[in-house]
């Protein structure tokens, strides 16, 4: 089906798993190590931007931007989980 790239990343890929946000975040974080968490905290906002620039090409390389179905979700799930885990850890660290 047709979809907007931002909608796919903001909700579509998450909704695909049919979990509550609490279940989903717990599942994502269960595969992260304490070393991951420490390394993510020891970064600056500039580092976050650089990371996003690196991943941008991969995310936008959709072939047909109007068609982002199962294969797109499958190909980008690990990146989604990484970026959500990093964002959660970094936000929690900033709020502390």
Domain boundaries, position 89: 5-95
Distance CA 27, CA 17 (A): 11
Compute the chain's Rg from CA coordinates. Answer: 14
* Number of domains comprising the chain: 1
pTM here is 0.83
pLDDT of residue 3 exceeding 70, the answer is no
In eight-state DSSP terms, residue 64 is S
Residue 77 half-sphere exposure toward CB, CA atoms < 13 A: 13
Best CA proximity match to 37, nearest among 2, 88, 96: 88
Q: What is the per-residue pLDDT across 5-52, written as a single tens digit (0 to 9) for each?
A: 777 777 888 888 899 989 999 999 999 999 999 999 999 999 999 999
Residue 93 half-sphere exposure toward CB, CA atoms < 13 A: 15
Q: What is the per-residue pLDDT across 49-73, written as a single tens digit (0 to 9) for each?
A: 999 999 988 887 766 655 677 888 8
């Amino acid at each position: 089906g047709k979809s907007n790239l931002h909608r796919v990343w903001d909700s579509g890929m998450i909704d695909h798993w049919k979990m509550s946000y609490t279940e989903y975040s717990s599942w994502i974080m269960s595969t992260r190590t304490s070393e991951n968490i420490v390394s993510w905290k020891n970064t600056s906002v500039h580092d976050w931007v650089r990371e996003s620039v690196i991943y941008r090409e991969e995310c936008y390389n959709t072939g047909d931007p109007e068609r982002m179905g199962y294969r797109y979700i499958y190909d980008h799930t690990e990146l989604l989980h990484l970026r959500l885990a990093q964002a959660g850890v970094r936000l929690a660290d900033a709020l502390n």
